[in-house]
Amino acid sequence: MTSLKVLGLAAMLSAAAFGSAQAAGGLSGLGQELASPSTPLTVEAGKTSLDEAAADGAQTALYGGGVQADFGSIDIFSDELTVTSLSAGEGAQGAAVERIQGAGNISIISGDDGLFVKADKIDFEPRTGIMMIEGNPAQVAHQNNIVTASKITVDLNADSVQAHDF
């Protein structure tokens, strides 16, 4: 297993969990509780590949072979995870996450909050606040509230969730 710590990603994923869960039943305060930029994210995977930085400073990390990402009370499991980030700049710690894509058997679990997300694919761009969740079916659940559809769009900026069946 390869292990890697990433700072700053926890806040973004926590915000994603907050947006999904809020529409599925109102998780008041979850985003504030979990969105600390200093919360470390640990990624463990059977294989890891890191692409060299592009001219724009973007760098892509590819994880596969059973991925587990842990931070705070949130656990993310998937077959594959791709994280694209930009350097935080000279002297700064961490990196700004531009995009997270996951594929295959995705589960996001928060035992403390009762949040559960199940999907085949996720695509999230923190800059826009939009997360696309796809599955056969995809599901966002919190306590007794469940949203199920083939495609779920979460807009973190508008605190909204749209379920689509195609």
Which residues lie below 8 Å from residue 99, measured CB to CB, with a gap of 6+? 82, 83, 84, 123, 124, 125, 126
Domain total in the chain: 1
Q: Report pTM.
A: 0.69
Q: Which residue has the tokens 């995977």?
A: 45
Confidence check: pLDDT of 142 > 90: no
pLDDT at 106: 95
26: domain range?
A: 2-49+57-164
Which CATH number characterizes residue 82's domain?
2.60.450.10
Q: Distance between terminal CA atoms of the chain?
A: 38
**The two structure tokens encoding residue 144:** 């007794």
Measured distance CA(66)–CA(84) in Å, rounded? 19
Cα separation, 107 vs 115, in Å, equals 10
Position with higher pLDDT, 37 vs 48: 48
